[in-house]
Chain A
């Protein structure tokens, strides 16, 4: 079992915004009068990296994760004229990224009909991207969970979202978030038994 504290990602969950002396979502409020493109660009600067990393947790490889996030931002840009409040933009992006990742998985499931090439996952044996073996094994165990469990765990333990925020991003109830996480943790506890 590792006792090393996970590193703090300054791009997660609005932390980067707070570091700039603004409350969560303040970046958009500050730039309310700016053009939509500037608002989207600001969001990309603040949250782009964290969202790519989140997408990586869900799809496994970096190129696909970047594509998903790019398209989410393009979708946001197109939707900006209809966006009612600033703090919804991040929620929009999270939902778009999660849905984009789901689409990727569906495309891969249809690979028998039309093969889709994608890179090996960052935690696969053929990838040297992750150096620490115990983290690689943990991510492999997570990758064997069902889709919803993977989404809940990534949003909870990487993005540090609250259950309510996860519920909003995934379109499920808070109770489902909680029960899904509980079951997933129990499965992981069994799966990782003996590996530490």
Chain B
């Protein structure tokens, strides 16, 4: 497929990796990886620990540069963009962020506007509107004057999500956003992302641990193992017992989720006979 053919350009997704070899220092995590993020999808990357899913997300968001191949954003190598230009198109919630001591919720969320600001324009009406909208979407408006240090884990994660929402990017990448949240807050966050995806048409890419969450909320799943993509597609089409066994090494059966009618993974466990 010729990526530079103008006739195909319209069909080309906004974000994809092409023959990318990615890793840290001399340790290669993925070699020759090609994967595309479908526009306007809610894509979830799944896989066992250390399978390279976070590394892929970091490469897609320009935090690490592929040693071979490239990541393409809007038809151009992402490494060729100025840093702020990337940040206006693509937002990322990293696994670990640090809230400066004594920062308030509103102040932290306003930091998400940085790529839109200039030396003389540091607080435009658009900045203000984006911060207000991000706070409303994540239901943190009432917390805006609170210190981030004094919030609960679930509230804090919502504030970080609000910060990347304030960035107002058409593409939004999140690295394990539900880790450290209790089940209620996990579901709340996933529904927020689903809503952003459906209502605003924002393309969402998230790394998730829970396969059942992926099945229920994702429109597109990328399953990885040992740095390679072994399956991708809609949950209903690709999630089978064989795939789960191949990705996680987990014997299981797949049943129909009685609520969402998406695949539901039921592990067999080590002694299934004893438990029936």
A, B assembled together: no
Which B positions have Cβ atoms within 8 angstroms of A?
none
